[in-house]
Amino acid sequence: MTLSTTSDAEKMQNASRVAKQVLGAFPDYAKTTPEYTLAIVRVIASYPPWVQSKLADLRTGIPAKCKFLPTVADIVEMADRMGNNQFGGMALRDYSGLVVDDRPYHPEIVPYVSNRPTRNPAHYQGVNADQEKTKEGIRRAERMTAYVRELGDGDGLKGWMIAIERGEDEPPADWQPK
């Protein structure tokens, strides 16, 4: 799956719309020059869409914070502050020239570990070997517990004391549980 990128024209249209919302809130907007408006649009276009929408907010954005037409510095300062709140101090990047990797996805080159035998048989064999070791340890513990109970005539603690005195950590090879 490939992400689609927006064209430069679409980015500028979105930034123009936001700039119109921001600047249109000021009564002296009609006195601005085209160069001023273009500079404001270019600055707004350099921020991601979520920052742009925060800049245009009438309650918390540029129109609420500036008494006169904002300068480029006012917009940059406020946008940076808004961006830092979102990312906890991480500096904003210029998103106006964002390029998305559109190369085809090849899942066979991505390493994948699974415990299912159809996905990664070597890993599955290792898991089985570990499980067998665990099962063998459980069988040995159960056999020793039965041996100790038999030594202590049903009292496990007494049987363990006898086994420890004898230095036995396993039942004799010829021992069979009753």
Cβ distance 55 to 47 under 8 Å? Answer: yes
- pLDDT bucket at 3, cuts 50 / 70 / 90: very low
Q: Looking at residue 133, what is its pLDDT?
A: 85
Two structure tokens written together for 173: 């090879």
Q: Looking at residue 8, what is its pLDDT?
A: 72
Residue type at position 82: M
**Residue 39: closest CA among 12, 78, 66:** 12
d(CA 43, CA 1): 31
Return the percent helix, strand and coil in the chain, to nearest 5: 60, 0, 40
- pLDDT bucket at 21, cuts 50 / 70 / 90: confident
Residue type at position 62: I
Q: Long-range contacts for 132-141 (Cβ within 8 Å, ≥24 apart)?
A: 140/170
- pLDDT bucket at 122, cuts 50 / 70 / 90: low
Q: Which of 68-77, 120-129, 138-147 has the lowest mean pLDDT?
A: 120-129
